[in-house]
Chain A
Amino acid sequence: MTSKPRVCVAIEPDLIAAATGEAAEPAAERVEAHVAACAPCRDDFARYRAIDSAVGALRSTAPPAGDADAARQRLIARLADLRTRILSYRVFPSSLGPILIARSEHGVALVEYLPREGVAASRLFRMAGVEAQEDSGDLEGLQRELLEYLDGRRRRLDWPLDFRGASSDFQRAVMEATVAVPYGAVSSYTGIAGDLGKPAAVRAVAQALRHNPLPIVVPCHRIVGSGGDLIGYAGNRLNLKEQLLGLEGVPTQPERASKIARRALYHYEPNPGREYCLPTCGDIARRPIGILFTRREQAEARGLVPCTSCHPELHPLPE
């Protein structure tokens, strides 16, 4: 076997490039000049050209269209399934300790006061069928709004909510009724049970809210015992409930911070005339709490009217 002349070896990379359409102009010209004079390289060039045109034919050969279409249909179905299962989450510090929020494509699905053990102990990783994914920035807005809320600079969290994590239709109904209790107002487990038309289900309401996956945004801190006691919050963290109510201006009793100061709030319990009252109207302040308001406007925004016997509009409570 004779070895190739040195000049042919040197030009080979350019020759391959030129034959397969990858050479720059000067190299292509050099190759052209060389192959004009060198028969073996002319042969090489032709072989590479032949490969290049075969590759060109391969390039334009598509697999049967049916294969790709069927594969795409299957992909779309799997993506749709994945989408409903992905929760992206974000952890950040707050005045109430580290908080985790998680959102699906339907809305916010989880707000959690993280346990001491940190994010690995989050209930997010115990939710069936969920694929948790750390957020890459799109939950930043939610974080900001929540921190503004906890700073008292924001009163509403108008977030789309994903209630699919609710353990039952009943829990979902309880959560929806709780969302309807406005900022600065307080209701009771009895009140919510009444709203749902199940006045006997007081304990079940309390249970449902004990496992509220969306604290703060589903404001279970606004739901208290029928006598005004702050009971049951985030396990046993009543101080968080106090802080959140304090933020909203809901007064607690001076000698006992874990009890609402009913005497400083407007009262409503369901009545045909939809009238709200002063706490001094009859024995209303001793009966189970329906809903309490810090300000008259809150009551009136819900379509309630001043009571015609105690006249809260004429004798407003001190702010």
Chain B
Amino acid sequence: MEGAAFDTVVTTHHGEIFRYLRRLSWRAAEADDLSQETFLRAYRAWGGLAADANVRAWLFTIATNVFRNHVRSERRRQAAHATVRTTRRELELDGPEEEAMAVEMKTLTEAAIRRLPLKQRLAFTLRKLHELDYEAIGQSLECSPESARAHVFQALRKIRTTLDGHVQPLTESTR
């Protein structure tokens, strides 16, 4: 157990992994729990990691798994609480506050990313917000680099469709 070496891992990567999980989760407290879970798991597995492993990609894989498990258990929990919550969640996105900020492309894009199917959302976040290569994303999502790429492109199409109803970028055809 190389305790000191793992301290460096925390120092170097915690901020980014926290940001990743913060982007994926709904509340800061959730990201806090999930990032702790990620690093505690990583610490337990640290001794078995190959010396030349890509630590950053490895942490993203663990964080992705932690998040997916979390989503699964949330779904089970929510199923038990019936549909009330789901409805409220929809409202969070389409409520008056969101409408008020509709002009803001960034906010809309963020909302559109949140509404992506899980795999596309993860692939897109890993690629576009954390700039991982498709090899690493494939590893995180347990798919080939090609499917990882396909997920990202599907995500882009879907975001575009979502935004089409809201914003008109300044182009020749809209001038």
Contact = CB atoms under 8 A, between A and B. Distances in A.
- Interface range on chain B (Cβ under 8 Å from partner): 35 or more
Contacts of B14: 68, 71-72, 75
Contact of B32 (A13, A67, A88, A135): A67
A28 to B, nearest CB: 16
Contacts, number: 117
Interface stretch (A46-54, A114-122, A259-267): A46-54
B165 interface: no
B1 A43 contact: no
A62 B39 CA distance: 20
B109 A72 contact: no
B160 A51 contact: yes
A71 B35 contact: yes
Interface residues of A, number: 42
The binding surface of chain B is classed by DSSP as: helix
Interface string A108-147: 0000000000000000000000000101111000000000
Contacts of B128: 20, 55, 59
A58 interface: yes
A76 interface: yes
Interface string B113-126: 10000000000000
Contact of B1 (A17, A50, A83): A83
Given A63-B28, A72-B14, A88-B1, A47 B173 contact: no
Interface of A: 13, 16-17, 20, 39-40, 42-43, 46-51, 54-55, 57-59, 61-63, 67-68, 70-72, 74-76, 78-79, 82-83, 86, 88, 105, 133, 135-138
Interface of B: 1, 3, 6, 10, 14-15, 18-19, 22-23, 28, 31-32, 35-36, 39-40, 43-44, 47-48, 105-106, 108-110, 113, 128-129, 131, 153, 156-157, 159-160, 163-164, 167, 169-174
